[in-house]
Amino acid sequence: MSFKATKEFIEEGDTVILYLSPSKMHSIVVQPKIENKRGELVDYTFQTLYGALKVMSLVGEKYGSKVQLTKGYAFVLQPTPELWTATLPHRTQIIYTPDISLIVHLLGLVPGSIVVESGYVGAFLL
């Protein structure tokens, strides 16, 4: 998965965002099989509120297209930093002291530096 380049069509191994609604999005990897709870390889079928999706049916689909689920439909989108963040189960980050010191060092902060932290976007030096 890369946020740098865009693609037109979905290929095996791509990460896609399955968009059901603004509050229901899932990131899935397009692969033919996954391991079930018993450790067996089975065909990858993703279950949603609107029915099941056979994940390999996405190969060759155009990003942004509408795909049919068993009880409705969804859209398959290419990941962007904003969409990726929206699909994460936890969007907050606890930063521990050793990490803070590394961040301060890498940003070149010195006494008197002004830092504006905006949560979602990150930190900016003024």
Domains of the chain (ranges; CATH) run 15-87 (3.10.330.20), 92-126 (no CATH)
Beta strands in 22-93 (DSSP E): 24-29, 33-35, 41-43, 45-48, 51-54, 66-68, 73-77
- Identify the weakest region by mean pLDDT among 30-34, 55-59, 108-112: 108-112
- Report the pLDDT value the prediction gives residue 29, as an integer from 0 to 100: 93
Binned at pLDDT 50, 70 and 90, residue 2 comes out as low
Mean of pLDDT over the chain: 86
CA dist 109 and 126 (Å) reads 11
- Selection from 8-17, 89-98, 117-126 with the highest mean pLDDT: 8-17
Binned at pLDDT 50, 70 and 90, residue 118 comes out as low
The residues pairing with 25 across neighbouring beta strands, listed in sequence order, are 19
Round the CA-based radius of gyration of the chain to a whole number and report it. 19
The tokens for 120 are 């979602």
- Report the pLDDT value the prediction gives residue 19, as an integer from 0 to 100: 96
Binned at pLDDT 50, 70 and 90, residue 121 comes out as very low
